[in-house]
Amino acid sequence: MSDKNDEVDPNELDITDELIAERRGGALGETPDDMTPWVAKTITAIDTMSHWVGQTVCWLTVPIIFAMVYEVTARYLFVAPTMWAYDISRMLYGALFMLGAGYALSKGVHIRADFLYRNWSDRTQGRVDLMLYLLFYFPGLSVFLWMAMDYAGLAWIRGEKGMDTAWMPHMGPIKTALPVGVALLIIQGVSETLKSHYAATKGRWP
């Protein structure tokens, strides 16, 4: 039997392991009053776009669920597996992953090793993030975008089809989701860079 003195006060919980995403809980488009107007408008516009893209893309889960339920039902109840369920599920999941990446970045829920980062001051976090975005994020994603556009373009030009199943769907549409998703990540990265600059100069996150 535990002693009452051992009970944890919810107001005194240790939150050092909370994700950085916690600071993204404010209202959409909410920016500090001392932020430069054009910066605030740019951040609001990009975050709003990412929000609506994320809210739209999440509906891809509906056909994914339908395809998997239909396949399981047809396969195990009627011994009549489909030719298209596997392709549909993996292609839509890939599109969901790529097209929702910018939205995930805007919410700060990408996986990150923040066991050191969380203990730094807001100013230090902003400086480190700003440096990493400029030195690695944009150059890396720019190369990735160029390669993804070539990857998707060749699929359309060649009329490429999937060879994993007898259904053989055209791969152009799904491969196009890759450069589009990378472009959305780059756009959201502009917003994150501006937020990092604000934190680096003002000592607090917007």
pLDDT in tens, 109-135: 887 777 888 889 999 999 999 999 999
**DSSP letters for 125-191:** HHHHHHHHIIIIIHHHHHHHHHHHHHHHHHHHHHT-B--SSTT--BSHHHHHHHHHHHHHHHHHHHH
Q: Rounded to 10 degrees, what is the CA torsion of 190, 192, 198, 203?
A: -160
Per-residue pLDDT tens for 40-87? 999 999 999 999 999 999 999 999 999 999 999 999 999 999 999 999
Ramachandran region, residue 169 (left: φ > 0; alpha: ψ -120 to 50; beta: rest): beta
What residue spans define the domains of the chain? 35-108+119-202
As given in the structure block, the two tokens for residue 21 are 């995403």
Kindly indicate the confidence band of residue 9, based on its pLDDT and cuts at 50, 70 and 90: low
Per-residue pLDDT tens for 136-172? 999 999 999 999 999 999 999 999 999 888 899 999 9
As given in the structure block, the two tokens for residue 84 are 């298209």
